[in-house]
Amino acid sequence: MLCTKCGQEYEGSQCPRCDGPVILVNNSDYLARRKAYEEKQALKDRSASSDKKEKSPGDYGQELVKRVQKRTSQNKRKNDTGRQNRNNNMKAGEDTKEHSKVRIARRKVNKRMKMIAALIVVLIITGAAAFGIYKLATKKNYALYVSYNGKIYDIAGLDSNYVCDEKNAIFASDSKTFYTPEWPEQIDSDKNILSVASDNGRYFVTVTYDENKTSRKYSMYIWNKDECVLVTEDDLQKEIVYISNDGKVIYTNNNVINDEGSTNGTSLAMSSIMEVKKHSEAQTTLIEGNLNKAYVYEAKHIIVCLTNAGSLYTYDYERKEKPVTVADTVMQIWPASENTSGVYTGNADSLNTRKDVDAFLYSKSDGVYYYSCKDAAVHKIDKKTDTDADYIIDKNNSLIYRLSGATLTSALYKDGKTGDYIDIDSMTKEKNYIYNSASGEIVYVNADNRLRVIDNNKITDIASDVNAGSLSKVYNKSKAITYIADNNQYYMNSIKEKAVLIFKADSNTSTQGTHFYKNRIYSYDSDNILYSNTLKGNNSSQIGYVDRLWLGTELK
């Protein structure tokens, strides 16, 4: 085979000339995918040769041109015939000559009008086709990627193609879209320990660590293709919370005091590049110096901050106005989940990019409260304070669910008023559940290892002997789920369809990395070996070792 990196022809799994990419696809998987590819190409060829093939806009444009040419040729023959007849009848009267001139003039006008109309139609169709091609070209091209041994491979095609080294890929906040920009001269990329890209790829933030320095080991930069600015240089560990499309970076400074990662104080700051006297400088705003927790709601441009003293407030990082106090003596906050609308959990990501996010929960000694970011309205939703619980607010059915590590309870919830909670079912300590906000259904595993669905307080059994913690959503399939039972991993296209055995598994296998891509299911076992199978579970193949699997986009 030919090396994708240097072009050397070789046999085996890796190029001996340049240590190029390791080919991850094994022979059985390659042959299966090659067969599917050839069948698909054959089908395309048959479709192309069919008399009933669908015509593209370009085909229609060519037909219009041919019709115009045919009509022009016919008109020309008619004109030639007309001239011949007129030459043979030179002795006709003057009236006949005048009428012939009028008819010729009309033909010429009609001919010009038809040609102009046909040209306009062709231009419109060509323009529409070009606009469609432009839209297609600017759309993100999603592919299936894996990382292994510090390298990233694209496995969307028949072969695994080397993309880049992981250290050269800078991911956006979604951890799926990544960029491979040229590093600025001011940054030693070998010392890079953390880099994040803005969603549009215009700005990047990088944190480096120099272990050879006795002090000021951490350096943070904000940069783009035109400039690079040093923001901070100190001994405080950094965590990037958010970087906006215009280069605003929200981050924490952690004073780490030992090798175990213990901290002695955390602050929250925001920095951006400003032009001062035609020179780019970093402008930094200290938001909170005694931080406990911070969460960014991107759509609302606010940061939800909880201090170590128990003060809870919101801060608009765009307007930079005075913080809005929510409550004091706060014990805990439950931000909105990034993954599903209506879910509030203490395990939420620090960044929420959902457009509909508008609330969070917090607890005091007398219970749990709901806070609306839209109008600052507050109302109590629970008299009990359970720091381990998650909450699901099902507005369509006027219900609120409390899911702890032991029980699933629910209460009526309407117009800001909450009824008494009643026990519905048991739960495992993993709180293994999936909520569908559109249908109001909760799929979960109870303490008896039964896979169930609850809809408007009605419970239906799905499967038994399900491993606790093995229930997961399937990426790129809105209603599909997967779980492990009897040492097998199962796939369900929806909870109303039959479960399909797709892979062998064990108690250590994680299903969280299961993906759907081009009519196949991809998942890896406890040994990090990646497998793929059809939706019917009848064509399993082993691909190779992976450290991570994701469906994403590489952008330059």
**CA torsion angle for 417, 421, 427, 429 (degrees, to 10)?**
70
In terms of domains, do 192 and 158 share one? no
Spell out a b/e string for 70-86, using b for 16 or more CB atoms within 10 Å of the CB, else e: eeeeebeeeeeeeeeee
Residue range 148-161: average pLDDT? Answer: 89
CA 171-175-178 angle, 5° bins: 30
Does pLDDT of 310 surpass 90?
A: yes
In terms of domains, do 152 and 183 share one? no
pLDDT value for 160? 84
Q: Which two tokens stand for residue 92?
A: 């006709």
Does pLDDT of 170 surpass 90?
A: yes
pLDDT, tens only, 331-376: 999 999 999 999 999 999 999 999 999 999 999 999 999 999 999 9
In terms of domains, do 146 and 216 share one? no
Does pLDDT of 35 surpass 90?
A: no
In terms of domains, do 261 and 194 share one? yes
Q: Give the closest residue to 342 by CA, choosing from 405, 417, 436, 418.
A: 436
Question: Phi, psi (5° rounding) for residue 512?
Answer: -65, -20
Q: Is residue 434 part of a domain?
A: no
User: d(Cα 250, Cα 234) in Å, to the nearest integer?
Assistant: 17
In terms of domains, do 148 and 206 share one? no
Residue range 287-315: average pLDDT? Answer: 97
Q: Give the closest residue to 480 by CA, choosing from 531, 507, 443, 525.
A: 443
Q: Is residue 158 part of a domain?
A: yes
Does pLDDT of 288 surpass 90?
A: yes
pLDDT value for 115? 64
Q: Is residue 536 part of a domain?
A: yes
Does pLDDT of 245 surpass 90?
A: yes
Q: Is residue 183 part of a domain?
A: yes
pLDDT value for 276? 77
Number of domains in the chain: 2
In terms of domains, do 174 and 262 share one? yes
pLDDT band at 133 (very low <50, low <70, confident <90, very high): very low
Q: Is residue 177 part of a domain?
A: yes
Using the 3D structure, point to which of 269, 289, 309 is the last residue of a domain: 289
Are 530 and 549 in contact by the 8 Å Cβ rule? The answer is: yes
SS3 125: helix
User: d(Cα 466, Cα 23) in Å, to the nearest integer?
Assistant: 35
Residue range 146-159: average pLDDT? Answer: 90
pLDDT band at 142 (very low <50, low <70, confident <90, very high): confident
Q: Give the closest residue to 165 by CA, choosing from 148, 144, 186.
A: 148
pLDDT value for 19? 55
CA 415 centroid distance within chain:
34
Residue range 206-217: average pLDDT? Answer: 92
Q: Which residue stretches of 147-303 are H helix?
A: none
Does pLDDT of 62 surpass 90?
A: no
In terms of domains, do 159 and 188 share one? no
In terms of domains, do 538 and 506 share one? yes
Q: Is residue 251 part of a domain?
A: yes
In terms of domains, do 174 and 256 share one? yes
In terms of domains, do 156 and 173 share one? no
Domain assignment of residue 207, given as a range:
169-289
Does pLDDT of 134 surpass 50?
A: no
SS3 538: coil
pTM for the structure as a whole: 0.75
In terms of domains, do 276 and 249 share one? yes
Q: Is residue 100 part of a domain?
A: no
pLDDT value for 74? 54
Using the 3D structure, point to which of 236, 256, 289 is the last residue of a domain: 289
pLDDT, tens only, 264-283: 899 999 999 998 777 889 99
Q: Is residue 247 part of a domain?
A: yes
In terms of domains, do 138 and 228 share one? no
pLDDT, tens only, 455-503: 999 999 999 999 999 999 999 998 999 999 999 999 999 999 999 999 9
More confidently predicted of 244 and 106: 244
Using the 3D structure, point to which of 273, 289, 305 is the last residue of a domain: 289
Q: How far apart are the first and last CA of the chain?
A: 28
